Structures are given as C-alpha cells and as structure tokens.
Structure 1
Amino acid sequence: MIEEAIEDELRNSYLTYAMSVIVSRALPDVRDGLKPSQRRILVAMNDLSLTPGAARVKCAKIAGDTSGNYHPHGEAIIYPTLVRMAQEWNMRHVLIDKQGNFGSIAGLPAAAMRYTEARLAPPAAMMLDDLKLDTVDYIPTYDERRTEPVVLPSKFPNLLVNGAQGIAVGMATSIPPHNLREICAGLIRMIEDPEISISELCEIVPGPDFPTGGIICGRYSIRQAYNTGRSTIVVRARVDVEEGKKARLIVREIPFQQARDRVVERIADLVRNDKIKGISGIRDESDLKEPVRIVIELKQGHDPHIVLNQLYQFSSLQETHSIILLALVDGKPRELTLKEMMQEFLRHRVIVIRRRTQFLLASARKRKHVVEGLLLALADIDHIIQIIRNSRTQAEAKEKLMGVECPASMMERALGDRGYTDFQLERGISDTYRLTSVQTDAILRMTLGQLAGLEQERLAEEHSALLDEISEYRDILGDPVRIYGIIRADLEEISRRYGTDRKTVIDDEELGNYNMEDLITEETMVVTISTQGYIKRIPATTYRAQKRGGKGIAGMRAEEEDPVEHLFVASTHAYLLFFTNQGKVYWQKVWEIPQMSRESRGRAVVNLLNLSPDEKIRDCVVVRNFDLPGHFLMMGTKKGIVKKTELEAYSRPKRGGIIAIKLREDDELVDVVITKPNDQIVLSTSTGMAIRFSESDARPMGRNTSGVKGISLRKGDEVVGMVVADPTATLLTACEFGYGKRTTFGPGDEMAGKELPMSDEGSEEDGLIEEEVPVEEPEAEDLGSANRYRTQRRGGKGVIDIKATRRNGKVVGIAAVHDSDEVLMMTTRGKIQRIAVKDVSVIGRNTQGVRIMSLDEGDSLTAIVRVPSQDIDPSEIEAASAPIAPVSELPIDESLPESTSESDVSDASEGE
C-alpha cells in the first residue's frame, strides 16, 4: 500500500492527462501544421502508395489501416478527420483527393466510408517527400510493432496555408488559412532579410485568406494577431446590392465555417420573429457552378443598405473569429507571432535538407565504395576469376580476395586520376591496397554479363557521376546560403504550381476604436539618420557599455559618402519632431520608424515623411506630451540665433509639414530643446566657446519668425549644440578627434534675480529682430569660476568651454549628463560606442579633455547623446534625449593654439 494525499494524486494524474491531450491529440506541430491523427492518416496512405497518380481506394481501407497501424482511437474518429482534409470549403488547399459524397458547404454530411474513395492530393505528397531519406525522427507506434514519424518533412507550409483548429485542456488553437502565394513570398522575403519586421511582413501577407472568401473588416485586429499571437477578427459575407423598385440582396460568399442552409434558416427565423421587417422573401439558388447564391427579396420602400446592416448585426452573415497562434514548438505549446511561425518553418526545412543531404552523401559514398571494388576487379579480371575458381566455397573465395594486395598503379589505372585522388584522400597514400569485405561481396555477386565492355564503361561513368554527387553534397552541407537557396527554389516552385488568387477581401473599415500603439512594447530606442537621409531604430540594449577610450562597435554600414548625421535616444511611444533645412517641422511616432539590425543602412526617410525634393532633415527632438503649460521649444541656429515658441503650437502638423522657424539663406537649424520656466540655456560653439543665459531672455514668438541673437560669434565660428543647464548635472563636451571632458554647470547665480533689460521691441511679423545688445568680452577667471558656467546676458560672446586645438579638433556636440547616465557616441563611419558617464573625468572648462573614443585613421566623431539611466520614468525620456545637431565639415582654424602633449592635459581643475 502506498499512502498519498488525494490532492497530489489528482493533480499529477490530471497533468499527465492534460499533457497527453495537448501533445498527442489536440494541437498541431508548428513544423508541418498537422495534429497526430491527420499525420497518421497521411502516413498510412503513403504506406498504401496512394500517390496523386495512383488509383483511389475505399476510405474504409484507409481508416482501417490508420487505426490498426498508427492511431488507436477507432475509425469513427479517423474518418471525419479524413473527410475534413478533403473539403475545399474547410481547407485552403485540400490534402486529400476525394471521390464520392464528402458533404457540402450547405451543411450536408459525408457518405459512409464504405462508399467513398480517396488518395493523396499534391500538397500532401509534397509534405511526405523525402520521408524515407532519414529527414525526420521516428518513434514506436502505440503497439510498438512499427515506427511512425514525429513530424513530416513538409515542403508545403501547411500550418499557415490551411490553418488549424483545436481545443486542448486549458488552451486552444485557432489559426486561420492564408494565401499560398503570399506565404511563400513572405518566407522568401525572410530568407533574403532575416531582420524583417512584422509590419513589413504584413505588407506581403496582409491577412487570412479563407477558402469561402468573405470580407474581413479592418486591419488592426490582423496586425494585433500577427504581433501578439491573439486577436479576434470580424468576417462578413460578400453581398451584392441590387437597387430598384424592389431591391434585393444576393449573398455570394458566406463567412468561414458557416453552413449555407443554416444561414438561410437563421435569416428566415429573423423575418418570422419580426427582428428584420424589410424582407419579403428568401430563396436559395445555389448550384454546382455557384455553391453559394442566396437571394433576399426586399419589400418596396425599404433601404437595402439598412437591411444589410441589420443582417450583419443579427444573422450569421457576420461572424467573429478568434485568432490564437498556438502550436507545438519542440513538443511544448507556445503562442507565436507571424514571424516566429515562419521562422520555425524555415528552421525545420533547414534541418530536413541537411539530414537529407547527409543521407544522400552517405549513400553515394557507400555506392562509390562498391563501384571502386568492381572497377578494380575488372582491371585484373583474369586473376580474380582464377582465385574464385580455385576456391572451394564462397567464404574461402572472399577470404582470398580480401588478402590480395593491389598495386597503387593498378588502382590509378582502374579509377582514373580524379577517382584515384579521391580514393587516396579516404584510404591514405600507400604502395598497395586491399579489397574490403563490402567490395569482395559485390565482386562475388557479379554476373558474366558485367564483363562486357559497355558494362565496364557504364561503371566508369557511374563512378564519375558519384564523385560529382559527393562534391555537390559536401558543398551544400558546407554552405548555408545554398541550403536557403534550395528552400527558396522549392517555395517558388510550390507558389508557381499551386498558388491561386486571394479569395478574401480585407476592408479598411474598422469596427470599433483601436489604437495601434497598444500593440507596441515601450522600450528605449536609438535612432540614427545618415547624411543622405537613411533612418532606422535599434533597441538601446544592443549597445553594451564599454570603457572610456574604446573603439566601439559597428552601428551601421556607413559609406564614406554617407556618414551618420543625427543620433538620439527616445521611447517607442514618443513623438519625433523632424526639423528641416527649409524651416519646416514634421512628426512621427518612434515605433513607426523601421527597426533594423546594427549593420543595416536603414530606410530612406523620404518613404516616411512627405519631404520636398530639396528638403533635408537638420534636427530632431523627442516629445512625449504637447499639452504641457509653460513649456516651449527653444531653437538655436548655426549663426547663434535663438527662438522660443510654445510647445502646443507644434501639436497639429500637416502631411506637408508646418513652419517651425524662418531662416536666413546662410543660416540653418542646429538644435532644439524643450524648456520650462526658470530654465537656463547653454549654447556651445565649434571653437570651444559657450554662453549660459536664462530662457526668459528670449520672449515667446510665433512659428513664422526668425528669433533673436543668442551668442555673438567670432569669424569662422558656429553653434554646434544647445542644452538646458542643470545645476545637478555636468556638461559633456565632445570633439571630433575623440576627446572630451565634463564640467559642472554650477548655480549660475551671477545674474539670478536681476531684471535683464530687453531691447527686442520688434513685432513677430518683422522676422529677425535686429537688436543692439552689449557684447561682453571674456573676462579673466578665477579658479572657482573656471569650474562652472556663469549666467550672462543673451547675445554675449560667452566663456571658454574647452580648448579646441589641432589635437582634439573642433567641438561636435554637447550633452547634459548625470553620473548614473551613459552616452552613445557615433563616428562618420558608423561605429557606435556606449560608455558610462562616470568614466569621463570632471575637469575645468579651459582644458583639452581626455580621450573618450579611439578612432580609426580617417574617421571622426560626429554625434554624442545621453542615454538615460534605467530607472528613469519613460514619460520623462524626452527631457533626457536631446538630439545632436549636424556636424559641419569645416577645417580647423589655423589660429587655434598648437597641440599640447598628452602629459599636459589635466584630469583635475588644478591643471588650469
């Protein structure tokens, strides 16, 4: 006696039963899309040699063999499964070629299996191809008298093309049928670009394609299913409206898995119960040529469109179908996306082709070995015959033949140069060789007819052909590209031979309110834009942090003529405001930007934004919420002009863009930041100057204005960046030759609380407001002021931010950072490095900095951006991801100080 708690026994027994139902009965395998009962029927028919060209046999014979050999659940279960696989209104491409009464779309049942006959249809034959070439694993059957395949090789993408329905214990699957041509095209596209997104796949596979046609209402639910593995779609019947004195509705297609007779009965019940009052009569005019033709006569004076909407609401002319992309992956139930289902099929095909090639290679080698023995025997046939004649038994003859030493010269003469070289690679180099047991057995089985000259030539040709086959098989096994080429050729052939036009129409009309953004997981993305306008996004987690001074990793395939120009970090749910060289602004959600691999070039931005031919992106800014009181967009230009406009003014963009700022012909936008009351702005220039002033110095203006002076520039200088000063943060300045440093902002309280006189009294319509602002010359600084940026009046020359010399180059960008942050740096050749901010020393302003990135010869730093710490709230990410302005390719001013040695660079303020 074994004592056990009843709850433990019940739990263990139930779980055993549940897993048995899930794995062995109810759910399809993701590789061949078949349940065990369906697979066993096809295998039994293959055993009976019921190929598409063979004569059909009684279904009773098929069901009996399946039950007796493979499926121990009775013929009453097997026959309905066989019938369903033969019904063209249930399968997009039938797997069984039927003969007899297999039911109808009207809902009539099939005849008894003793009256019907069947054989394999071409798609099923393709699923069984190469089954005997060791392409799949086998397991013992229920009675352990034979074995059955775990899965079929399945050259045909059955799961997506024919779909699947199944209810297990605690889970269910509901995969709709799809169009074969679209699925094959999608698989081929995945072979070409394994990084393809689900959105791009949806352009190739727009949605399900039911064998009964119909209309799918809306694309949102389809995208939701393909992205998450679950959704519900609404399918309507295709109905023609004939208007006139007495209008009528003609139903030509009904929703998937609806019986025509039940549809008619349901409509008749609605009319009898006065649920729908505009119908005067209903007739079923269906025939063999038109399986569905239901004519609904309307009463005079009733609007047919209103009646049709009532039918959609109350009858089965409109049905909701669940999509649950659940299948067995490696024997375990798993919900999949569309891309994952395609990936699993391709992975299965790769394994099948590799195993098939290995089997064929082994068979070819075995046959080559036998043919080599026969060729050797024919080369010295008199001696071979003498040995056999002088032997009393075959065993004695075999032993003597195996003891014969064949000279290498004889082997070379028998096999030829190519064959002998291959033979030496297998057996090694020796003066003599001996026949193997397999070869002597083949020699003893030779007939006298094989001594004829033509037979000897045939063996030589076979040996040469075997060498070619072995070389071909080796090449396939050693080259994954060739394997995918074989898969692609198979898919193209299947699509060409069996592909059909789409039957189901997908209507853009959505039934309900949906937000596509709900499907997108919120995560931090790195977005890059190249000089020639190619854009992409990559998860920020792709770039692991490195030590300061590293070389980084490839961020994209950047050609010399198309370097990276913009780099910024944003949440997938944020907006990107694109500011162009023509002073316009466009916006796009981050998740709508294509996600690609690190090495890919990206997608042309003109495919996302409606840019004019001469329009180029000059800057971007990340915005999460436009409705923020007191928040402004502060814009800075290359010539030192700044302009402040309410953030809400940019919340209603048009397809062709809206005006952001009025620019001079020789000026261009550099940077845009979001400001709030009491913020202070820091402008930085390419020669290492910086100015800090209060955002209140620039009064708010409309969009169609130019702004006011922010900093006075020396000849040849220009603004390269703008940030909002944060007393708790530091200013990271980066130069083009990979040097940089951090300096504390400081409180900046020299001008705090003082009323700054403003002289810009012009109106917004005047465009640029020319003003006379006293210019402050840089003052001699004490040790304390050298470690921070004091507040000045807008329009001054500023203070030294960094020594820009020939050693470190011009300034390319700035960023306000905290010790817990990280920064991303990108070069013109597309390399990206991610480092921790704390690895960069905090030193004074009047220094050259330290090396923060090692650059290859001819490469230069082009952008730097802050990556917020992981604990930051996603809603605040727009404040943490200020964009970097484009880098001007200006030569370093010869008047700059000469480069100092590495030892002269101080990592602390004492060096000033």
Structure 2
Amino acid sequence: MSEIISASEKIQDIDVSMEMKDSFLEYSYSVIYARALPDARDGLKPVHRRIIYQMGEMGLRPDRGHVKSARVTGEVMGKLHPHGDSAIYDALVRMAQDFSLRYPLIDGHGNFGSLDDGPAAARYTEARLAPLALVMNESLDENVVDFKPNYDAQLSEPEVLPAAFPNLLVNGSAGIAVGMATNMAPHNLREVIAGAIHLLDHPEATLDDLMDFIPGPDLPTGATILGIDGIRDAYASGRGSFKMRAKTTVETVGPRKLGIVVSALPYLVGPEKVIEKIKDGVNSKRIVGISAVTDLTDRANGMKLVIELKTGFDPNVVLELLYKFTPMEESFAINAVALVNGRPESLGLRDLLGVYLAHRVLVVRRRSSNRLGKRTARLHLVEGLLVAIESIDEVIQVIRTSDEVAAARERLMQIFDLSEIQAEYILELKLRRLTKFSRIELETEQSQLKAEIAELRAILADDSKLRSLVADELREVAKTYGDERRSAIQDGQVVVQSMASALKSASSAELSDEPCSIVLTAAGQIARLANSNDLSGRYLAQVSTTTRSDLGFAASDGSVIRIHAADIPEFANENQLNSAPKVNDFLGISAKFVSLIDLNDTSTAIAIGTKQGVVKRVLPEFPDKHEFEIISLKEGDAVVGVARAGDDAELIFTTKDTQTLIFPAASVRPQGRPAGGMAGIGLSENDEVIYFDSVKPDSSLVSAACSDAALPGTDPGSAKQTPLAEFPRKGRATGGVRSQKLLKGEDRLYFAAQLSEESVLFDETGRKISVSIPTAKRDASGQKLSSPLASCSY
C-alpha cells in the first residue's frame, strides 16, 4: 500500500524566496486593485460599488421601505463580494454616516454609530439607498458601462458605476494598501461640479482657475480650515496637508460665567476624545482656566461641547492652549492616490476632474448611442404598424388566406414592402390596436421618435453638444442635491507654538480688564481696537468699553445677541481693519444687523422703531443669555433702529413717503421685553419707515430720494439736509411732516440719517462720498447726487 502511495505522490522542489515573492506580489495586487484604492471615475472601492449596485438591484430606493442591513450584507456577500460580512457591513455603515461622508449614499435607520461609538449589529439596523445614490446607478440598464463576471462567473457586475457626480472629490476616500495609501478630503458638491463644468468648457484651465470654483475641502463636521498653501500643494501634486480647527464661540453659559462653546470639531474627531485630552491637560497643568467640560451633543441639536472658564481667564489664551494640547486642532494629510485605467496614480485636482469628465462623457455617449438604437428600432416598428393600419383589410385577407405563419410573414413582406421584424410584429398585433385612436397615438409617437432620433444623432455627431449635455446634467445634480459650504477657510500662515511658549501662555492666561473700542466700519466689518479714544465720525457705530464687558448686537428680527468684547477680533490699529470680519458673518445670522448696544449701561432705556411704524421703549434689564428678544414683531415687520432714549430725549421717524415725525420719548411708556410696542407714527397705505433714532443735539436730517422703479443702488437721486430744529414737534402716533419735496421722476425716500459736523457719508461699498450735501428748508427739494447714499457715521 505504501508503495502505491509513494508511486502516486509528486513532490516538487521550489525556491522559498521566489514563492514568497510571487505570493506577496499576488497579495499586493489583490489588496491594491480589489480592496484598498478607489477608482478615479466613480470614487468607489469594489465593496462600496457592489453594495450600491446590489441595493439598486434589490429595489431599495429612497421611496421604498428600509430593509435589515443583514439582508443587504448577505446579498452582497453571496452574489458579488465573498470577503466576509463584517467588512461589507463596515463599508455600508460608513456610507450612511453623515460625519464620515459629506453626502451619505446610504439612508440608514437605527444606530449607525457616532464619532466615539461603533454601530449596532447588522441585525438591528436597516438601510436603503439615499437619493444621491440613485444618480450613481443611473442608466445602468442602457449599456453605459462594461460589466464583468462575478467571482463565480454566474452573475455579472459593473466594472464602474455611471456616477453622475464626481464622487471621489465630493465624498473623499481613505485606504491602506501594500506599499501605498490614499487619503482624500470631502468637498462641496456645488463647488466641485462648478469646477468640473469650467474644466469641461475650458480644457486649458489652470489650477488657479479651478481653485476659484473649488477653494478647498468642505468637511462634514464643518470645522474651520486654516491656510491654503497645503491645499494648493495637494491640488497641484496630489500630496499636501492642511490644519482643521474646531468652531468655537465665547458665550455666557451661566450667571457671570463665560464658556467656550464648541459647535464643530475637526474631521473624524469625537467629543469624548477631546474631553479626555482636556482632562489630561488640566491634570498635568498644561491647560489652565477651565472649571468644567460638558458634552451636550445630541441627534436633535448636533455637536455642542461647553467648556466653562474660571473667572478672570482670557478665553483667547485658553483657546490657544486647547488647540495646542487637544484634538480641537488637527492636521489632515491629503494623498490623492486612485486607480486610473487599472493603475494606481497620484492625481492633482485637474487630473481628478479630467479623469471623471472623460468617464462621464463616455457614459453619456454610450447612453445616447443606446437610446438612438432603441428609438430607431421602435420607429421601424411604428412605421410598419402604420402601414398595416392603412391597409388593414388587405392585411387581414393576407393572413386569413395563408396556410401557416411563415407564409403569412413572407406575403406581408412582399405585398407591403415590410421587413421581417415589422411583419412578425404585425402578426403578433392585438386587434384592439387597430382602432382610429391607436392610429393617432402611433402617428404622435412617430413624430416624437423622429425628433428624439434627430436630437440624439446631433449629440453624437457634435462633441460640443455632447459636452454641453454632460454640463447640463451636472448642473441639475448640483441644483437638486447641492448645499452650502460648511467649512470656512481662513487664509494666512498658522503659527505653531513651541511647547515652552505654550506653557508660558498657560501661566499668563488670566484676562486683564483693558479699555477698548468696538467699531463697525462703513463696509459692515466689526472689530475691536485696543484704545478707547474718540473715533466718532469715522465709523457707523462705536462703543467704548472694556475687554471684560458684554455687548449686544441688535438685529432686524427683534433679537439681541450677547457677545463678550474679548471675543471680537482685535486689531492693533485702524489700518488693519480691511481684514476684519463682516458683522453678519461674525454673528452667524441671516437677519440684518441694526445696532450696537452697551449691555453694561443699565441706567437708560432703549428705544426700538420698526418698519411698520411701531415704537417701543424697554428697560435695560437684560437676561444672562447668549440671545434674547427685545420686541415681539408682527408678521412682515422688522426693526429699523435701536437707540438709547431717556425720558428727556426725543425720537425721530422718517418714512419713504417723505414724512418725518419727532416726538418726546416720555410719551412711550417702557414695556417688558416680550411686549410688541405701540403706535409710533401713522403711515399711509404702502408707506414704511426707513429711519428711526433718538434725536442728537445740533444735528441735521439728511435725506435722499429716487424713483421707486429703479433697482437698489442704481439711481443716486437727489439729497438735502435740514437742521432738526426746523422740524415741528408733534405727538406720538401722528403722521409727521414732509421732509423733502420730490423732483420729477422721484417718488420715495431711500435714505435718511442724522448728520453732525463730524459725520461722513458712505456708498454701498463703504467708500466715503466727498460731495457736499446742501442745506435747505424742511420741505425743499434736493440736489442731484453722483453716487447713491448707503450709510452715515455719527
């Protein structure tokens, strides 16, 4: 028996080193091409592509119900991806997480994890395709991509998805292969598509041209991106890095308690990791000034981490320590490696867009060719049916007198000059299709098919029309699924402190109460200046305060936002104010900013005037909240002006119908914050208030009129100024007096303000208007202007 076994055995000597080399190369090849690197065309790795394709085959559309994730995992594993259910489920989970992908491709139901915790098991969660995933699978049944056999050659799968948007740039990718890796940041869909369309229309576009449309990544968590040099390097060569910082605000988090509120963390950084590092820093005394950290993050309100500060510590210094010693500031290294024609390559921004556009143009060309073939074939059948309907009696006679189907088919082809396909179709035709109504339908369909065929032939014959169609489809995707950018990009070099410098900052983190001035420029920028000198006449608003004080920013929706003075960006001198942030961007509000309020002044009431002529005075008793209401507005109303006004003050309203009313503030009884105010000025139909304030001593009213038909900012109109002493004083809720006589072609006032000797007028761009406004009688007409008035300092 042993001799038989020995005779049948075949032992082959091999070189172990060669076997290891060959096996390792095969393994490397498998990891690179079948697991770790995405395809540059659809931005998907094989497992992600198979999940999306198979879910489409299962009919798991957004308008259908969710199914168990385990069912999806089993279908994908059994038919396309025999690499283990855990790997498939992990890939599915990532595509459902809105903090991992900028635009999730899977609509998950259940616990799909968080930045700090993993997801529930596949048997507990449910999934279906997200709306944007539909355009990844779009037109798969129209021969737009090649299919290949699955692992056991029983089924087929697409080599690449049609991908109606640049998924690799939009959602990014990460993977580690053998000897190489990829790490790509997510981007904004609208920006990427805008850049792709520009490159499609201008193939010679440079990187600078594309960066006008795609300034940088757009992170799902909304963190702030610092600097563009590293981003530009990555866009040029495929390799680069940038820093991400948490979005923070300094707010009142308790009675006389300031805190740093974190509303967004760097990409893939969870709050628990940040809290742990803060605790380590406080215990090691590297971070000072923190009394408590509370995680208020939830699904309804999103990310919110409250870091309470000890009294007397400078929030800015504490923030720098947090950026230095915690993951509130992290780096992201871009390594844009993807498969191009089956080979891994490092790709810059232009290359990534170029590969995608070439793929998309090919997809649309193949789809148009497929549709042309289908419509041509259908037109051929329709024309045969019309021939049959026109000679229906003869057709019936031919069929009835034929001995068999083959003979009938041949006779139909000979008598009516039909093709074999047309004759066969007529033989299978149901008699109900032979009605007059069916003939009308066929003629309509024939006309429509001819038009579509002509259009498809024109697209296939003209490359410019084909590219235009690709651009139009990209625009439609951007319009339907795009959204606003989440991550702000701050240009400029990031200063990295040494450990010694950071520890030195920790020892001097206490905030000194220094005088400062908060100013609002004519261009709408907010800034803090280190001195508190008199800056009147140069800015639209100025408040002299200290770094430990709070200011109120009143908005047109009746709200006031409390901001700590030290939280407003500081500038060493007025020459640097060009880089100051816009006040609305700084506050993060959509309502119009109206006025600055010194919240430390609790002795003088605040007067509020609205567009519908309502006036209100409210006592300066402000709640210790980040945002609070000072007036309840009616529908369609908005706050026009907010000013300090004691009982001895006077209030002024000016309307677009040239009416000006001055009345004593004492006639307006102070009310509580939730109150809606009282009638301030009587308005005629279609009139509205354009200016409200308290009367300043020795001031004039400057007003400007124009045509109501002119677009805003296009008609300078005419202007004049009149001392307020010439205006008669009247009672509250009356109609006022005319403040300017309108010239021919003018029908409304568009601007009004109080003017002093030091005041300066500005246009919409914030530039000073040097023309002198003439002084005239109260009801006189104005003098023509060369530039429209937009604002006035006082």
Q: Does TM, normalized by the shorter one, top 0.5?
A: yes
| 1:230 aligned residue | 239
Counterpart residue number, 1:28: 38
Q: Given the alignment of the two structures, is residue 143 of structure 1 paired with residue 152 of structure 2, yes or no?
A: yes
1:486 aligns with 2:469: yes
SS at match of 1:450: helix
1:238, distance to aligned residue in structure 2 (A): 1.2
Provide, for residues 212-259 of structure 1, a one-character-per-residue CA deviation record: whole Å limited to 9, x for no partner: 011112111011111111012111111223489754222111000112
**Equivalent residue for 2:424?**
441
Is structure 2 residue 167 aligned with structure 1 residue 184?
A: no
3-state SS of 2:92 partner: helix
SS in 2 for 1:92: coil
Structure 2 Cα separation of the partners of residues 192 and 400 of structure 1: 55
In the alignment, structure 1 residue 174 sits paired with structure 2 residue 157: no
Is 1:239 matched with 2:222? no
Show CA shifts across 1:154-178 (max 9, x none). Answer: 1122111111111111111111000
Q: 1:208 aligns with which of 209, 213, 217?
A: 217
Asked whether 1:373 is paired with 2:381, we answer no
Aligned to 1:61: 71
Q: CA deviation at 1:318?
A: 1.1
Q: Does 1:322 align with 2:333?
A: yes
Structure 2 residue aligned with 1:76:
86
CA distance in 2 between partners of 1:10 and 1:167 (Å): 21
Contact kept? 2:137, 2:161, Cα under 8 Å: yes
Residue from 424, 440, 465 that aligns with 1:457: 440
Query: Is the 1:248–1:298 Cα contact (8 Å) retained in structure 2?
Result: yes
Q: Percent identity?
A: 43
Determine whether 1:363 maps to 2:374: yes
Q: Distance in 1 between matches of 2:256 and 2:92?
A: 49
Q: 2:315 aligns with which of 294, 297, 304?
A: 304
Supply the distance in 2 between the matched residues of 1:207 and 1:227 (Cα, whole angstroms): 12
One-letter code aligned to 2:332? H
- Hey, what's the Cα distance between the residues in 1 that align with 2:256 and 2:432? 89
Q: Which of the residues 108, 111, 116 maps onto 2:117?
A: 108
Cα-to-partner distance string for 1:394-413 (whole Å, 9 max, x where unaligned): 233224333x243xxxxxxx
Cα deviation for residue 464 of structure 1 reads 2.1
**Partner of 1:9 in structure 2?**
19
The answer for the alignment partner of 2:274 in structure 1 is 263
CA drift of 1:484 comes to 1.4
Whether 1:157 aligns to 2:180 is no
Following superposition, the deviation at residue 336 of structure 1 comes to: 0.6
TM superposition shift of 1:443: 0.9
**Is structure 2 residue 517 aligned with structure 1 residue 507?**
no
- 2:456 corresponds to 1:473: yes
Report if the CA contact (8 A) 2:171-2:187 is conserved: yes
Deviation of 1:305 (Å): 2.0
* Distance across 1 between alignment mates of 2:257 and 2:439: 86
Cα-to-partner distance string for 1:686-726 (whole Å, 9 max, x where unaligned): xxxxxxxxxxxxxxxxxxxxxxxxxxxxxxxxxxxxxxxxx
Is contact 2:165–2:193 with CA below 8 Å preserved after alignment? no
Report the Cα offset of residue 265 of structure 1. 1.8
Over the residues paired in the alignment, what is the CA RMSD in angstroms? Answer: 1.8
| Whole-Å separation in 1 of the counterparts to 2:144 and 2:384 | 30
- 1:856 corresponds to: none
Distance, in Å, in 1 between the alignment partners of 2:15 and 2:85 is 39
Q: Following TM superposition, by how much is the alpha carbon of 1:53 offset from its aligned partner in structure 2, in angstroms?
A: 1.4
**SS state at 2:293 partner:** strand
The match for 1:411 is none
**What TM-score do the two structures reach when normalised by structure 2?**
0.59
**Kept in 2: contact 1:123–1:156 (CA 8 A):** no
**What's 2:675 paired with?**
none
Structure 1: segments with no counterpart, 5+ residues: 407-433, 514-912
Q: Provide the rounded CA distance (Å) in 1 between the counterparts of 2:429 and 2:482.
A: 49
Letter in structure 2 aligned against 1:61: R
**Which amino acid is the alignment partner of residue 477 of structure 2?**
I
Identify if the C-alpha distance between structure 1 residues 220 and 374 changes in structure 2 by more than 3 Å, giving closer, same or farther.
Answer: same
**Match of residue 140 from structure 2:** 131
CA distance in 2, matches of 1:287, 1:380: 73
TM-score by length of 1: 0.52
Question: Could you list the per-position Cα deviations for residues 715-743 of structure 1 after superposition, in whole angstroms to 9, with x for gaps in the alignment?
Answer: xxxxxxxxxxxxxxxxxxxxxxxxxxxxx
What is the CA distance between 1:44 and its match in structure 2? 0.9
Q: Distance in 1 between matches of 2:395 and 2:70?
A: 57
Question: 1:4 offset after TM fit, Å?
Answer: 4.6
Distance in structure 2 (CA, Å) of the matches to 1:394 and 1:18: 61
Q: Give the corresponding residue for 1:398.
A: 409
User: Any conservation in 2 of the 1:218–1:506 contact (CA below 8 Å)?
Assistant: yes
Q: Does 1:250 align with 2:261?
A: yes
Mapped partners of 1:273, 1:219: distance in 2: 34
Q: Does 1:331 find its partner at 2:314?
A: no
Give CA deviations for 1:467-506 in whole Å, capped at 9, x if unaligned: 1111111000011111111111112212222221111111
User: CA deviation digits over 1:376-429, x for unaligned, max 9?
Assistant: 222322222122212333233224333x243xxxxxxxxxxxxxxxxxxxxxxx
CA distance in 2, matches of 1:460, 1:282: 74
Q: Counterparts of 1:339 and 1:438 in 2: how far apart (Å)? A: 49
Which residue does the alignment assign to 2:481? 498
Counterpart of 2:249, as a letter, is D
Contact 2:36 2:177 in 1 (8 A): yes
| Contact 1:286 1:293 (8 Å CA) reproduced | yes
2:205 corresponding residue in structure 1: 196
Alignment partners' CA distance in 2, 1:286 and 1:466: 57
- Give, in whole Å, the separation in 1 of the partners of 2:391 and 2:309: 95
Q: Which amino acid is the alignment partner of residue 191 of structure 2?
A: E
Residue-by-residue CA offset, 1:135-191 (whole Å, 9 max, x unaligned)? 000000011111000011111221111111111111111110001111111112112
Deviation at 1:272, TM superposition (A): 2.3
Corresponding residue SS for 2:140 = coil
